[in-house]
Amino acid sequence: MEPMSARTKTTKIAPTYRCTECGWTTAKWVGRCSECQTWGTVEETAGGTRARTRAATSVQKPAQPIAEVDSRVAAYMSTGNPEFDRVLGGGLVPGAVILMAGEPGVGKSTLLLDVAATFARGAAEATGQQKVHQIRPTRPDQPQRPVLYITGEESAAQVKLRADRIGAIADTLYLTSETDLGTALAHMEQVDPALLIIDSVQTLASAEVEGSAGGITQVREVAAAIIAEAKERNMCTLLVGHVTKEGTIAGPRLLEHLVDVVCQFEGDKHSNIRMLRAIKNRFGPTDEVGCFDMHEDGIAPVLDPSGMFVSSTPHPVAGTCVTVTMEGRRPLLAEVQALLDQAVAPAPRRTVSGLDSARIQMLLAVLQRRAGLNVGKLDCYVSTVGGAKIAEPAADLACVMALASAAQNKPLPRKLAVFGEVGLAGEVRAVPGIRQRIAEVGRLGFTHVLVPASPTGVGEVPKGVTVREVTTLGEALALLFPQK
């Protein structure tokens, strides 16, 4: 019999499985991660315990009190595009990494190319709604700020054609077409840019990591390398990210956690209006919205977009009402139009564009029950002007007034704006930002405003503007449609 001391015990290390998205581990394979609810991301990893990381023997840069940290290094730098600066919270922060996502063809590359050229010229140019695109030489008194534009989806000649068309030419704007991460890092070392633009992050790939470009492993490695380079060089970085069919950013969710700012560029392909929203922003607010006008000569910021969502009919028309909606912290005027007609089919039609159809159904029921207007058997068509999309309940009162105007064939007074939330009991509830909305109405030349009664009051009213507060739907209808 073999002695006990000579026996060897072999221990079989059980494999473990780890989610590549969030890092969740499990003892057996599952198709869906229980932590982030993502399918197909659980992969087998080598079992056993890894060695614990030990502390370094020396520290190159010791920690210092927070009061002694120089914050001037991270001061905002204007891009020259006022709407882009508004969304970012004031401009670009050195060392910040910004991820911009959007559907194909919405204009991400055009916007970033225009921002790159304006930033390279070194001046914060005040651009209005009508922008003249031409090659503007850099003045000698303007500081030179090199910009590196790396494109992986187009050739350098194709990007140059677009730059000639929109006037995005600058002496210090460098362009290269590259898909290898190592070569892209070499370009950064050579140019030493103040602003780096990569279009897009899914096209770059590292030769040291397995997988094709755009895969989870490649995107994680590319993003980590670029972010580390941006922080080390104190370099502003703009990354373009693809989106999935559901509208979310493609690639691992870790990409959104690593970057400092996540922006969503959206817009209807049948409209020239584009909206830029900040979903995540470590240096500013996330409720700001930038408006842009996309045309054949490029893209231009729209400093006053309210006039684009209001019709310019010379005479008042029944079934139209102007409201004030809040896009983040910016008040915007929008016009609601309603049309009622005799129903041909047994079931009346309800067609809504730019508004919530379920909300319009509810307002029709409130209008018939609380105001006594027989609109339940009529075909109803409700739409907004200019392709505006209104989601907040503050437009309820304007929708009801437009429906009541169409039902009675009586136009509302001109230069009138209406906003407020309507409840099922017929009450008119207060909405946030009443003072900002009234100030915007007065700035655009409106003389009458119908608002919900607020406990804190409406504050200072602009000169020439009459404000009427209402608490119920019946009171609002009596003011706008007095009975003889």
- Residues 382-438 have pLDDT tens digits of 999 988 889 999 999 999 999 999 999 999 998 999 999 999 999 999 999 999 999
- Average pLDDT over all residues of the chain: 86
This prediction has a pTM of 0.75
- Residues 195-230 have pLDDT tens digits of 999 998 999 999 888 878 888 888 889 999 999 999
Q: How many CB atoms lie within 10 A of CB 374?
A: 9
Distances, alpha carbon 238 to alpha carbons 76, 270, 426, in Å: 15, 27, 49
Gap between the Cα atoms of 116 and 175, Å rounded? 10
Residue 306: cis peptide before it, omega within 30 degrees of 0: no
Gap between the Cα atoms of 75 and 417, Å rounded? 40
What is residue 431's predicted lDDT score, i.e. its pLDDT?
94
What is residue 40's predicted lDDT score, i.e. its pLDDT?
84
Gap between the Cα atoms of 423 and 452, Å rounded? 12
Confidence of residue 128 (pLDDT cuts 50, 70, 90): very low
State yes or no: pLDDT of 380 exceeds 80. Answer: yes
Confidence of residue 149 (pLDDT cuts 50, 70, 90): very high
What is residue 214's predicted lDDT score, i.e. its pLDDT?
82
What is residue 130's predicted lDDT score, i.e. its pLDDT?
35
Q: Describe the chain by its helix, strand, coil percentages, rounded to 5.
A: 25, 25, 45
Gap between the Cα atoms of 370 and 265, Å rounded? 41
Q: Is the pLDDT higher at 376 or at 246?
A: 376
CA dihedral 400, 366, 372, 350 (to 10 degrees): 70
Q: What is the mean pLDDT of residues 456-475?
A: 90
- Residues 282-321 have pLDDT tens digits of 998 888 889 999 888 889 998 888 777 787 777 889 999 9
State yes or no: pLDDT of 194 exceeds 90. Answer: yes
What is residue 120's predicted lDDT score, i.e. its pLDDT?
92
